[in-house]
Amino acid sequence: MPSVGGRGRRRLVGEINVVPYIDVMLVLLVIFMVTAPLLTQGVKVDLPKAGARPIPDQKDPLVISIDRAGRRYINIGDDKSAPVDEKGLAQRVKLVLDRDPQTQVLLKADAAIPYGDVMKTMVLMQQVGATKIGFLTDPLPPEKVP
């Protein structure tokens, strides 16, 4: 019989100390919270508001962004944050459409740029073979939806 007074054999404790696991989880949570906003794709564009229905999700659409200054960006390539000229944009879109002609092209244009600049980009996309072209907008607030 083991003695109770501290001498003799000790009993094994079958509990897991979870404090280190909680610490690791909290560190990972902080890392995720800091990096999540950095993972957003594209350029800052103030989209116009519209009450259009959402487009059904499709596999990896090609997004062309036009910022307030009229610079064009594309969501493919090495540097997605570098503006591209019309010729470079047409070449990149053509390469994508040559691989998959059904790729959807979405235009994400700032509300402040002239309509003619948006149309010029849209016509350029049609000239290189884009058949599915859509526009990205911000949804209207629920009280203004018709």
**32-90 pLDDT, tens digit each:** 888 877 666 556 666 666 666 666 666 778 888 888 888 898 887 666 678 888 898 89
pLDDT score for 25:
94
Q: How confident is the prediction for the chain on average, in pLDDT? A: 80
Q: Calculate the alpha carbon distances from 67 to 42, 61, 125 in Å.
A: 10, 19, 17
Chain-centre distance for alpha carbon 75: 9
- 133-135 and 105-109: which strand pairing? parallel
CATH architecture of 49-144: 2-Layer Sandwich (3.30)
**How many Å apart are CA 43 and CA 45, to the nearest integer?**
6
Confidence check: pLDDT of 3 > 80: no
For the chain, which residues make up each domain, given as ranges? 49-144
pLDDT score for 27:
94
**How many Å apart are CA 12 and CA 143, to the nearest integer?**
64
Residue with tokens 């596999």: 59
pLDDT score for 22:
92
**How many Å apart are CA 140 and CA 107, to the nearest integer?**
18
Tokens of 126: 């049609």
Count the neighbouring beta carbons within 10 Å of the beta carbon of residue 66: 21
| Angle of helix 115-127 versus helix 86-99 axis, rounded to 10 | 40
62 neighbors 100 (Cβ within 8 angstroms): no
